[in-house]
Every structure is written in C-alpha cells, then in structure tokens.
A = this chain, B = another copy of it.
Amino acid sequence: MSTDLCVHLLPQLVDPAELVGRTVVVIDVLRATTTVCHALAAGATSVVPCLEIDEARTAAAKLGGIVMLGGERQGRRIEGFDLGNSPTEYTAASVGGRTVVFTTTNGTRTLRHAEQASEILLGGFVNLSAVVERLSRAAAISLLCAGTNGEITAEDSLFAGAVVDGLERRGRQLCALSNDEARLARDAWRTVAMSGRPLAAVLRECQGGRNLIAEGFDADIDTAAVVDHLTIVPRYDVASGGITSS
C-alpha cells in the first residue's frame, strides 16, 4: 500500500481544510506532546486541551471531581494551576486516575488547527516507535509541527523527520512524500542520526531547547530526549474534547 505523507513545519503552512480525512500527528516535542505522553503513561484518565487560561478554569470547574490544572505561559506554570509543563511533574501520584485540564501556548493551538482531521495523534521522541507503528496502518498522514510563536523549530521538525525515516525503514518504500517539507525534515534528521551525537545535546541547540535552558527547565530536555521511553500514542477525540491513551 502506498501512503501519502506530508510534513508541515508550522501550522500556518497548511490550511486546516487540507487535513480533512487524514491521520495527523501533532508535534510539540518541547514540551506539550512529551508532557501529554507522560501524563497518560502515569495514569491520567484524560487530558483536556484548552486554548485559553479562562477556558481551562471553566472546563475544570465544569468537570468537577478531582481535576488537575496544568500548563504554561512563557514556559512557566500558570498562577493557581496545579502543574506546569514539565513532563516529570506528571506522575502517578499527581495525575493517576485524574483528568488533566491542560493549556500551553503552541501545542494546544496546533491541536485545534488539526480538528478537521479524521484522527489526531500526539508524538514526541518518547513515543517515536509507537507512533511509527501506529502510522503504518494509515493511508494519508500529515505530520504537523507546532513550532514556537510562528517560528519553525528544529526539535519538532527533526521528530517529523524521524517519523518519515522510520516509516521508510519499516518497509513503507512506497511512501509517497507529498511535499518537500517531508524530504527536508527526513534528511535533516538523517544527518543528526548519523552524527552519533546524543539527542539531548542536539535538542539543547534547538530554539526550544535554548528557550528551556534560559527558563531553568534544562532537565526537561533530557526527559524529552529519551527515545521510545513510552509505548502509548495519545489520541485527541474532538467530540469529547479529551486526549486519551490509544
């Protein structure tokens, strides 16, 4: 089976209508999609992404029960929220069995951008192989990088490239790269993979990595760089508004 495979290095480089009928992987490696993977792996029942802080507070109030509020603005925990956007904050003790209402700057916006897709998955290096495995059953794939405030970031683009590379290696030789962003991301990833450098060192040079270091979240880069640490693939269900493990 031939697969139609696109990469978009930023949400604004693809019209939402072009994602109709496709499997979309939303990518915000540092840190939203990595954090959602950790939250669900730690036993959170669902992660509810919200665009605005007020929207998150309202959603949490409506859900009632034991809900955790998580997320960031300018990288930092939001005032009155239970958790920030560091993946390691999301443990069995903090989120096990609970719903997390979550708002981040770029990740949430990108999820919303993908809402017309037929299926929306979340990926980061922590679940790379699981994402590739899951995609090996899809016919039309769009890898959608969040970037940072409208700027292309290498960490998201490199992960997209790793997925393209992974699909090609897993025997999907008939993978039709439907745009040049897919070629560029794959080839940039191959240089990084061939270099033998630790992924964490590469991520530290990327825009997102440098931002995190400046904000004192250096350790989150190491967490995000543990390839295949987890086997779950978070899936965003637009109708219910929740992201669950799939």
A residues near B (Cβ < 8 Å) are 9-10, 13, 151-155, 157-158, 179-181, 183-185, 187-192, 194, 205-207
Contacts and interface: CB of A to CB of B under 8 A. Distances in A.
Contact of A154 (B153, B184, B191): B184
Contacts of A192: 187
B180 A184 contact: no
A152 B13 contact: yes
A183 B188 contact: yes
Contacts of A157: 180, 184
A10 B181 CA distance: 12
A179 B205 CA distance: 10
Residues of A contacting B: mostly: helix
Contacts of A190: 191
A184 B179 contact: no
A192 B181 CA distance: 14
Contacts of A207: 179-180
Contacts of A155: 180
Contacts of A188: 183-185, 187-188, 191
Given A10-B13, A157-B180, 15 more contacts: A9-B184, A151-B180, A152-B179, A152-B184, A155-B180, A158-B184, A180-B206, A183-B205, A183-B206, A184-B185, A187-B187, A188-B188, A190-B191, A191-B191, A194-B194
A150 to B, nearest CB: 8
A239 B95 CA distance: 63
A88 to B, nearest CB: 25
A25 to B, nearest CB: 18
A155 to B, nearest CB: 8
A153 B13 CA distance: 12
A173 to B, nearest CB: 14
Nearest to A184: B188
Contact of A179 (B151, B181, B183, B187): B151
Contacts of A10: 13
A142 to B, nearest CB: 14
Nearest to A177: B205
A185 to B, nearest CB: 7
Contacts of A183: 154, 188, 205-206
